[in-house]
Amino acid sequence: MIEVLVEVGDARLRAAVRAESIRRAVDVAGSYYPDTDVRVVYPIDPEAFFVRDSAAPAAGLVGFEMPEKLAG
């Protein structure tokens, strides 16, 4: 299980997505916003990439955050 940060649309929304692969994470985020571009945020944080906690929520978990430029 991995976790990556993706941008949705014009980087107005970011989401941390857990999935079996980067491609699957992009697909999961895209399923929430089917008519919008979804891109992986690079560089990928190596500390957060592999989900090591066996009690971690299941694949497909999406956690949204507000990008710094909109946070004010």
Task: Give the domain range for residue 50.
Answer: 2-71
Q: Tell me how far apart the alpha carbons of residues 20 and 61 are, in angstroms, rounded to a whole number.
A: 11
User: Using 50, 70 and 90 to split pLDDT, how confident is the model at 64?
Assistant: low
pTM: 0.70
Is residue 62 within 8 A of residue 32, CB to CB? The reply is yes
Segment 42-52, tens digit of pLDDT: 998 888 888 87
Q: Domain count of the chain?
A: 1
Is residue 1 within 8 A of residue 49, CB to CB? The reply is no
